[in-house]
Amino acid sequence: MEKNMMALFHYEDDFIAAATKLKESGFDRMCCMSPIAIHEVQKVAGLGKSPVRRFSLIGAILGGLSGFALATICALVFILPTGGRAIIAVPPFLVIAYEMTILFGVLATLLGFHIVSGLPAWHDKPYRVETNIDRFSLVLGFGPDDDPSLAEEIMRAAGAEEITELEKPE
């Protein structure tokens, strides 16, 4: 069976040091859990600009177009001239487009959040309650070429207070 390991850290800098060292040693299947966002760890994990921004942009553009289309099509389906005003009245329709730009942008960002983060993820995954309070944890998955004893050594040297072997895959 595939071997997994979880290490618990008390200090944030120990945790960052362990993650950095493990990454440098070639351990790629790593998941870092913390009670707050830690940008150094995100950098170690190679997370740069998030693809969420593409969802936001596409959603906003689609929203703007749909808003204008909604107002225009409604006006064309039931033509009602009032006081010589334009049937397709651009300034008021732009207000509708503006609101729809934001609405679709927000909804697309929400969709992007779920797709990129992989949430919801209600199935059982390695997790320690303490990591949502005041501990930091690293979960490592090992491939056939990886050396678990080296990983354990790195984590102990960095200051891990507890290391456990897991049966659940990350």
Partner 1 sequence: MAEYREPSYAEVNRDILRTLLETGPRYWILLGFTSTIAVVCFFVPWMYQLNVGVGASGMNRNAVWGTYLSNFIFWIGLSHSGTLLSAVLHITQSSWRKAIYRSAEAMTLFSLMTAGCFVMVHLGRVWFVHWSVPIPNEMGLWPNFRSPLLFDVMAIATYLTASSIFIYMGSVPDYAAVRDASTGMRRRLYTIFSFGWRGTEREWHTLGWAYTFFAVFVIPLAVSVHSIVSWDFAMSLVPGMHHTIFAPYFVCGAIFSGTAGIVTLMYLLRRFMKLERYIGEIHLDNLGKLLLVLSLIWSYINILELFTGWYSGSSFEYEALKFKLFGYYAPLYWEMILFCAFVPLLMFWKKIRLNWNIMLVIAILINIGMFTERFIIIATSLPRKFLPDAFGFYFPSMVEISITVGSFAIFTTLFLIFIKWTPCVSIYEVKETLQPLRRRAV
Query: Given the rule CB under 8 A, which residues bind partner 1?
Result: 10-14, 31-38, 41-42, 45, 47, 49-50, 52-53, 56, 60, 67, 70-71, 73-75, 77-78, 80, 82, 85, 89, 92-93, 95-96, 98-100, 102-103, 105-107, 109-110, 112-114, 116-123, 125, 127, 129, 131-134, 136, 159
Tell me whether residue 110 or residue 163 sits nearer to partner 1 (CB atom): 110
Tell me whether residue 147 or residue 157 sits nearer to partner 1 (CB atom): 157
Taking alpha carbons only, the member of 57, 65, 56, 58 closest to residue 100 is 65
Q: What is the nearest approach in angstroms of partner 1 to the Cβ of residue 165?
A: 19
Q: What is the nearest approach in angstroms of partner 1 to the Cβ of residue 95?
A: 5
Q: In Å, what is the CA distance from 72 to each residue of 3, 44, 97, 130?
A: 60, 50, 10, 55
**HEC sequence for 56-113:** HHHHHHHHHHHHHHHHHHHHHHCCCCCCCCCCCCHHHHHHHHHHHHHHHHHHHHHHHH
Tell me whether residue 145 or residue 167 sits nearer to partner 1 (CB atom): 167
